[in-house]
């Protein structure tokens, strides 16, 4: 049909040009980005699925890093336990050696010296081993400061008790306590109050080398570090002596604590000492030094509550994410601690003299070795579990990445062919569009000829 007002062939050709141009542009975009889906319009369902899979891939990658951290934690703990095991083995050899009846007392003293050094090394390893800010060889006992009794566990508010002196860490005072008053009656034995922080700062008492210290073998800071600043007595492993804020009998202020102390009044003929602190801002350790027996009264307005922050070891087990979802306990791998201090291993206060003590020590060391072996076995199992979970995450990342690639990545062979095809079809449609555009001119020319012949 010939028509002047409407050129249907031209409209069809124009639509074909637009369609092939769109297909060509889409193929070019996919080839340039290497992505089949560049907007939600390309494949909304595929975009949603691929995004969900990509999220799981990213999460699985982080889980892999978490598992690697957990593996490092286990390796650090297991390496430290190896050192503990070596020390125990040496101590057991010394215990067997000490049962030799031919040894002299000097020989036994030498054995005991090495034995004590090995025991100290076990505690040193347990307290110094640290991984990611945690202490894997320290247990999770309830909050405590060494083996020192809490203030309200030993004392009734305002009541006096009698005790022998020496080098005694009597009690610790938790932070938050207010109105603390300590009254000491040394009964003529010249015993003295000593107040320390857990890191070894001497806040009140008498100078080193004075009678109450010297009578117990302490004349300098080195003696104090080796003999007095023990972890079992509440001091930190890193504690070192510091007397820069020592109150000898006056009023001082340290870390927000107002400390009033009468000092040693023996020279004035008094057996009494008194110390007052308005508010305790950090845990303090109260000791009494001397060689006699004393009566001591502690009173307070309010008693602070010791937090687990005061306890170096209260950190709980380590939980490592083993699944990107992390919704239940099964999605975590829990690494329990391996408490390995002398107290934890029941090795405190062992001796090699007399022979009966050496036999007891040998039995205790055998039990401790078995306990350490159990710790190492458990850590080995956890390391195998962590490695297995790591391989699972690698498999998950690989399979999900393949799925995402199939959904989103460009098939270059297909898109190159589609792009060439679209270009050819567009060129052909453009040529037909030009041809169709000439048809109106032909129709007008025919009409003009008809009009001329009619006239």
The first and second tokens of residue 226, run together, are: 């080796």
SS3 118: helix
First vs last C-alpha separation in the chain: 26
Strand 257-261 and strand 332-335: the pairing is unpaired
Phi-psi region of 175 (alpha: psi -120 to 50; beta: other; left: phi over 0): beta
Which class in CATH covers the domain with range 56-141+313-398? Answer: mainly alpha
Give the pLDDT band of residue 177 (cuts 50, 70, 90): very high
Residue 294 and residue 10: Cα distance in Å, rounded?
A: 117
Phi-psi region of 242 (alpha: psi -120 to 50; beta: other; left: phi over 0): beta
**260 against 156, higher pLDDT:** 260
Q: What is the pLDDT of residues 42-87, one digit of tens each?
A: 778 877 887 888 888 888 899 999 999 999 999 999 999 999 999 9
Q: What is the pLDDT of residues 209-257, one digit of tens each?
A: 888 898 888 989 988 888 888 877 788 877 899 999 999 999 999 999 9
Judge whether residue 391 has pLDDT over 60.
yes
Q: What is the pLDDT of residues 10-49, one digit of tens each?
A: 676 667 667 766 776 666 676 666 677 777 777 788 778 8
The first and second tokens of residue 302, run together, are: 């309010």
Q: What is the mean pLDDT of residues 288-310?
A: 80
Residue 141 has what DSSP assignment? P
Other beta carbons within 10 Å of 415: 18
Residue with tokens 């350490």: 372
Question: Looking at the chain, which residues constitute the CATH 1.20.1330.10 domain(s)?
Answer: 56-141+313-398
Judge whether residue 304 has pLDDT over 80.
yes
Give the pLDDT band of residue 276 (cuts 50, 70, 90): very high
Is 174 in contact with 283 (CB distance < 8 Å)? yes
- Percent of the chain scoring above 90 in pLDDT: 28
């Amino acid at each position: 049909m010939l028509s002047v007002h409407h050129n249907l062939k031209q409209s069809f050709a124009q639509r074909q040009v637009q369609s092939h141009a769109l297909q060509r542009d889409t193929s070019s975009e996919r080839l340039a980005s290497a992505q089949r889906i560049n907007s939600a319009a390309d494949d909304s369902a595929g975009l949603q699925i691929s995004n969900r899979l990509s999220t799981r891939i990213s999460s699985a990658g982080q889980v892999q890093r978490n598992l690697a951290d957990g593996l490092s934690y286990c390796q650090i703990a297991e390496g430290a336990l190896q050192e503990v095991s070596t020390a125990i083995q040496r101590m057991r050899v010394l215990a067997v050696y000490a049962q030799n009846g031919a040894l002299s007392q000097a020989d036994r003293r030498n054995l005991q010296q090495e034995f004590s050094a090995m025991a100290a090394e076990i505690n040193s390893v347990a307290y110094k081993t640290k991984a990611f800010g945690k202490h894997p060889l320290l247990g999770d006992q309830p909050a405590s400061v060494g083996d020192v009794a809490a203030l309200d566990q030993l004392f009734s508010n305002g009541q006096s008790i009698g005790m022998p002196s020496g080098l005694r860490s009597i009690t610790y005072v938790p932070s938050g306590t207010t109105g603390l008053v300590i009254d000491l009656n040394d009964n003529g034995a010249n015993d003295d109050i000593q107040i320390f922080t857990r890191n070894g700062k001497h806040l009140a008492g008498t100078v080193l080398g004075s009678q109450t210290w010297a009578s117990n073998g302490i004349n300098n800071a080195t003696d104090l570090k080796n003999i007095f600043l023990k972890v079992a007595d509440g001091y930190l492993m890193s504690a070192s002596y510091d007397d820069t804020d020592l109150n000898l009998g006056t009023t001082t202020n340290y870390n927000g604590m107002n400390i009033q102390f009468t000092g040693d009044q023996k020279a004035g003929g008094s057996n009494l000492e008194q110390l007052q602190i308005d508010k305790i801002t950090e845990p303090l350790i109260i000791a009494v030094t001397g060689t006699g027996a004393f009566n001591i009264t502690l009173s307070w307005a309010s008693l602070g509550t010791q937090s687990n922050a005061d306890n170096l070891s209260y950190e709980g087990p380590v939980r490592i994410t083993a699944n990107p979802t992390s919704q239940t306990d099964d999605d975590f791998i829990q690494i329990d601690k391996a408490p390995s201090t002398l107290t934890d291993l029941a090795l405190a206060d062992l001796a090699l003299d007399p022979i009966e003590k050496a036999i007891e020590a040998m039995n205790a060391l055998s039990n401790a070795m078995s306990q350490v072996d159990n710790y190492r076995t458990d850590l080995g199992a956890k390391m195998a579990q962590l490695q297995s979970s790591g391989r699972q995450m690698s498999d998950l990342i690989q399979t999900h990445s393949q799925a995402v690639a199939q959904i989103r990545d460009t098939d270059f062979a297909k898109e190159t062919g589609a792009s060439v095809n679209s270009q050819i079809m567009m060129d052909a449609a453009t040529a037909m569009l030009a041809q169709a555009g000439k048809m109106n001119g032909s129709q007008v020319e025919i009409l003009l000829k008809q009009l001329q012949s009619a006239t």
